[in-house]
Amino acid sequence: MKTAFTSRSQARRHCWAVLLRVLMAVLGGYVLTALACSVLAQVLVAVGAMQRAPAVQLSTLISFVLYTAMALWVFHVHSLSRALARMAVSAVLLGGALLALEGMA
């Protein structure tokens, strides 16, 4: 019977890769979803599309879909470093947008 891993180092590397993907999905997905939710609520209020409470409620409802999609995406991407880089860039951009919108709403 053949095993999936030929050595212990390959098995250990695979375990670390899965652990990192889980952490990226849980923690990184949470951070990105929270930032996106905040930015969306601020934009909806700033453009006058909604009052503050409905904007927060709508962005919170959208955040459930976004968080799920982010978690699935982290496990779909082949390159772990590329996924981490994209998440970091997205977090910086969303953070900058949140700071820019903070005084408007």
Q: What is the pLDDT of residues 17-37, one digit of tens each?
A: 999 999 999 999 999 999 999
Counted domains in the chain: 1
pLDDT per residue as tens digits for the range 36-84: 999 999 999 999 989 999 999 999 999 999 999 999 999 999 999 999 9
Does residue 48 come out as left (phi exceeding 0), alpha (psi in the -120 to 50 range) or beta? left
In a domain, 34, yes or no: yes
Domain carrying residue 96: 8-101
In a domain, 3, yes or no: no
Which residues, 6 or more positions from 75, have their beta carbon under 8 angstroms from its beta carbon? 21, 25
In a domain, 2, yes or no: no
In a domain, 77, yes or no: yes
In a domain, 1, yes or no: no
Measured CA to CA, the distance from residue 105 to residue 102 in angstroms comes to 6
